[in-house]
Amino acid sequence: MCHILIVEDEQNISAFITKGLKKSGFQTTVVSSGRQAIALSEQTAYSLILLDIGLIELDGWAVLRAIRKRGDLIPIIIMTAHTYSQSEVIAAGANDYLQKPFRFTDLVAAVRQHFPPPSEF
């Protein structure tokens, strides 16, 4: 089963994402800070990380750099209200990018690009 780490400090957004992903057959863990994300990603083998950029204490870019600096190749999908080009996000070390607000179907499609459901194996 795909275990997704959701790094999002907006409780309504993380609840929306969690509910939908669980209904789609994914297991989730939610954290609201960058420091928590780094610590948990070192302790647990997640299949994928959904990473908000606009975190309060340690932004998503710093989290992304820390994860990549230790050589972790886990797929990371950036979620942000800011506009970036796909090439900027990829160059920074992320695998994909969703601009908020996004449709849940677009989120699931992005997740499945990096981790298809078991029936597709």
Q: What is the mean pLDDT of the chain?
A: 92
Q: Does domain 3-74+92-120 have CATH number 3.40.50.300?
A: no
**pTM for this prediction:** 0.92
Is the model's pLDDT at 117 over the cut of 50?
Answer: yes
Residues of the chain with pLDDT > 70, as a percent, come to 95
Residue whose entry in the numeric block shows the structure tokens 């190749």: 73
Pair of tokens at residue 81: 């209200």
Phi, psi of 99 (to 5 degrees): -90, 130
The mean pLDDT of 38-66, rounded to a whole number, is 95
Is the model's pLDDT at 40 over the cut of 90?
Answer: yes
Domain regions of the chain by residue span: 3-74+92-120
- The pLDDT tens digits for 77-103 are 999 999 998 899 999 999 999 999 999
In the chain, what are the helix, strand and coil shares in percent, each to the nearest 5?
Answer: 45, 20, 35
> At 83, is the secondary structure helix, strand, or coil?
coil
